[in-house]
Structure 1
């Protein structure tokens, strides 16, 4: 692929990126509770005529979660609308993985590093997943989960793990062995849409494309559900 539109709205930040190999344009803003207003404004700024296929776009990548329920719904609805209208495929990318890719691009982590990616999940929990940087991409070494800060664990006993994301605001509540494994943290980092692109290319190469009706957020918590466009407005 040579041209991908990317949308990330799973945190307090909202961003849209347009990659045309080798160039990339992005709109990224910290917009708590204003994602629905800014997301479509950003799309208009990058795609003034709204014609995705005419501009060579081959797929729409999106941060599929976990993250803010509202932000994930807004992004998924936008991606479904765009892909239904254009017939383009969608490419889901973990928000936790995207956050690691952002840290990699910014030089906070490097090849071979073990990284703990976290997000504040509210209601006294965090979302967490561990990754190893391999060949310039984060490779998951454990499944994502929602867990109370005091119950967090890390795989193995490796030290110098780098912690990322808003879940690190609860680092003082992490078990002592986990705190001892953390060699550094950045609790302010937020994922950016441009960092979905390398992960989306890798996902597409493995055949991980979605039809519009397959687009949906990943909440991690099993009790959370989301109605797709085809299901919205219907009563049981």
Structure 2
């Protein structure tokens, strides 16, 4: 038996999922600014017996809410370290594409512009293509002002996902004219981390608990790994 626990808290949605040999159980709530209070209650409800039967822990690694990403990374670090389990980082933007795929909003061969509102007059975005039922990255995630999101490899048609699409009127004409559909209210769910997590686990592409960290896109944001947490930030002069 193979089991994967998945945690996604990068947006106002808070969700967890458990995959065991094809069977999926999940919990999902809209819990803006309450992730820290809800995540462990959801895990307890999902897995009252703890991590028995879990072989790895997948998490939405970002980009997304700074606080939300820290909550997921802290939870995964603690659980993976305590149970000596590998971690499986999955892009939140790629997870969002798989949520859309599960809901029938995108399909095989589509180019997908996955985005999130970065809350600082910028958006996070990445470009994917659905190939053999999997979101394949065409352009890596980055953050920028909506008016500056010109892409290096611009398809003639693509589907827009996520809260970043609320700024479509500010997009360059080249981008907005290529968006044939937009779904700005879509939010990523933990169960949609699982297809990419399963692929990573099969390939041995895993992290140690000590290496778990969010992907913020912006270089100025730092995350303390387990050995560094609790250390002084610097000596007084």
CA-CA distance at 1:155 after TM superposition:
3.9
Tell me how many residue pairs correspond in the alignment.
233
Aligned counterpart for 1:220 among listed residues 195, 202, 217: 217
CA RMSD of aligned residues (A): 1.1
Specify the SS of the correspondent of 2:64.
Answer: coil
Runs of 4+ in 1 over 6 A off after TM superposition: none
- Residue pair 2:139, 2:153 contacting (<8 A) in 1 also: no
How does 1:61-100 map onto structure 2 within 5 Å? 61-100=58-97
Aligned to 2:18: 18
**Separation (CA, whole Å) in 2 of partners of 1:48 and 1:156:** 47
* 1:186 lines up with 2:174 in the alignment: no
Aligned to 2:204: 207
Aligned to 2:27: 27
CA-CA distance at 1:208 after TM superposition:
1.2
> 1:45–1:178: structure 2 CA closer, same or farther, 3 Å change rule?
same
Specify the SS of the correspondent of 2:125.
Answer: strand
CA-CA distance at 1:232 after TM superposition:
1.6
Specify the SS of the correspondent of 1:216.
Answer: coil
Aligned counterpart for 2:127 among listed residues 112, 117, 130: 130
CA-CA distance at 1:157 after TM superposition:
4.4
Where structure 2 has 5 or more consecutive residues not aligned to the other structure, the ranges are none
Q: TM-score, normalised by structure 1?
A: 0.96
Q: TM-score, normalised by structure 2?
A: 0.96
